[in-house]
Every structure is written in C-alpha cells, then in structure tokens.
Structure 1
Amino acid sequence: MSIQVRELHHVGFSVPKQLVGPMHDFYRQVFGLPADPGRWHIPGVPGYFLEMPDATQLHIMGNDGVSPYAQGEGRDPVCNHLALTVASLEQAAEELRRRGIDFFGQRNVAAAELSQLFVRDPAGNLLELRQRQDD
C-alpha cells in the first residue's frame, strides 16, 4: 500500500540567518508573496512563511550550521525540504517501516499538537510528511 498524499504543503529553504530578511524582501518584492502573519515562533530559527497563490507556502528558515532540532547526521528538519500533507502520519510510518525506509519523527516545536515525519528519497532529498490537524 502506498502513502496517500493529499497536497503539497510547502517548500522549505534553509538559509544563513543573515539572509532571512533579504530572502523575504526578494520574494515579497519580486514575486509579490505576502508573509503569513500566523507563522509560529520557532526558537533559534528565524524566518517567514510566504503565501503562494495556490495555498501552498514557501518557508524561509534561518539556520547557521546544524539546527537545535537535528537528531543526528542527515536528520535535521531545518534543511531544505519538500512538505507533503498525507492522510495519516500513523499509516505513513507503518508503510515506511514495512518497506525498511529510514525516517525520523519530530514534534513541532512551535505547535506541540503537531507531529511530523522526515524521510529522504533515494537521491537524498528531505521530505517532511505532515497531517492536517482536522484529520
């Protein structure tokens, strides 16, 4: 059984902290993307959630080196990543285990009720799997 993807939620860009402001200005001025005023405060990770026209977001995350949320080599959720909303995180974890695919979980540091799973594809790209709160 495959993991049921509902939507592309966001693309996350990890940038040096001194570039957070210029990145925000670039995407706001050049592409007209407004910032989501509801972005959570993520301790140690300054940034912005920028709204895309199709309800997806671009997440700008300030990070100099390894973030305080890293769980070891290659397990840093504050790296460049693509976030997919899935029907069920529990089912996604079961499917990844069944297939022998390594992943790690992360409690959302800004919203304790949210959980995320992170997995790398065969090319090493980091994917965040998330579930809508209302599911």
Structure 2
Amino acid sequence: MAIKVMGIHHHAVRIDAGGHGLDAFQAFYSDVLGLKHDSGRPNVPSIPGLWINVGNVGQIHLMGGEFPSPLAKVPGEDPVDVHVALAVEDVAAAKAELERLGVHFWSLVGVAGPQTEQLFVRDPAGNMIELHQYDKCRCAAANREQ
C-alpha cells in the first residue's frame, strides 16, 4: 500500500552562495515578496537559516552553514541538502512501507522538534524528499501556534 501523503509542506534551499547574511535573505523575502519568517524555527547548532511562511500551508526553509553539515550521517545523507518535504498521515506507517518495498531511506529524530522523526529518500533522479508527520510540522499555519 502506498504512503499516504497529506500535502507539500516545505521546499528547502541552500543559501550559502554569495556570502550574504541572513538579514539580506529576510529583507528579500519580506520586502520584495511580502513573506514573513517563522520566529518559532528551532535553533539548530551550526545550521543558520530562516523558515519563510508561504500562506497557510507551507514554507520555504533557507539553510546555511557548512555543507555537508554536521548532521550528515554519510555522504549523500544530509538533511541540509536541497529537498522537498511532504507531510504524511503516519510517519511510522511510511517507514514500514519503505522497509517493505526495500526503498533506501534514512531518518533523523529530534532535530525538527522533540520526538519528531523525519524520513529522507531519493527519487530515481537523486532528488531528496523528506517525509514527516503532518501534524508535527510548523509548515502549516495551524501548527505554528504550538
């Protein structure tokens, strides 16, 4: 049975190019695009960045710092790499389905929030996709109040 995806929640991009500071990115997304940042972004040591709110259903995650990051487990498994994040109905069921199908994935626990597990897979072209529990992500406006 396929994983039940509830929605697209964020697109993560790297912001190291050009030596610009976070203030330049915050000004661009706010002053040019009219978007505000999520002040509730957790502090991730050695991963500077901003989460930019896009309406009520998503965000753009701007991520800086060294690449590969200290969160990289092995080459090619770095959550700070460019990716798209999809919210799934049940992350434990998604993990079981990936295992059943023999799809290579890796997980990260506790970085996006306490007891939050993120699963990472790559599509056939090598694009990284994050899967996370739909009600545990600050990407949806309803969850930003928590």
Task: Identify whether the pair has TM-score above 0.5, normalized to the shorter chain.
Answer: yes
Q: Which amino acid in the other structure matches residue 133 of structure 1?
A: K
Secondary structure class of the residue paired with 1:96: helix
CA distance change for structure 1 residues 59 and 106 in 2, over 3 Å: closer, same or farther? same
In terms of mean alpha carbon deviation, does 19-28 or 93-102 score higher?
Answer: 19-28
Instruction: Give the equivalent residue in structure 2 for 1:88.
Output: 90
Instruction: Give the equivalent residue in structure 1 for 2:11.
Output: 11
Q: Once the two structures are superposed, what CA deviation does each residue of 1:28-68 show, in whole Å capped at 9, x if it has no partner?
A: 22211101111111111011110102420001011322101
- CA distance in 2 between partners of 1:65 and 1:37 (Å): 24
Instruction: Give the equivalent residue in structure 2 for 1:55.
Output: 57
Unaligned runs of 5+ residues in structure 2 are 138-146
Q: Once the two structures are superposed, what CA deviation does each residue of 1:64-123 show, in whole Å capped at 9, x if it has no partner?
A: 221011010110001111011101111111111121110001013252221100000111
Picking from 87, 109, 114, the partner of 1:112 is 114
- CA distance in 2 between partners of 1:89 and 1:115 (Å): 7
- CA distance in 2 between partners of 1:20 and 1:9 (Å): 25
Provide the aligned length of Structure 1 versus Structure 2.
134
> Offset of 1:20 from its aligned partner?
4.7
Unaligned runs of 5+ residues in structure 1 are none
- CA distance in 1 between partners of 2:91 and 2:112 (Å): 18
> So what's the TM-score if we normalise by structure 2?
0.84
Give every structure 1 segment of 4 or more consecutive aligned residues whose post-TM-superposition deviation is greater than 4 Å: none
Secondary structure class of the residue paired with 1:124: coil
Percentage identity across aligned positions?
39
In terms of mean alpha carbon deviation, does 122-131 or 12-21 score higher?
Answer: 12-21
Secondary structure class of the residue paired with 2:26: helix
- CA distance in 2 between partners of 1:19 and 1:41 (Å): 19
Residues 34, 51 of structure 1: 8 Å contact kept: yes
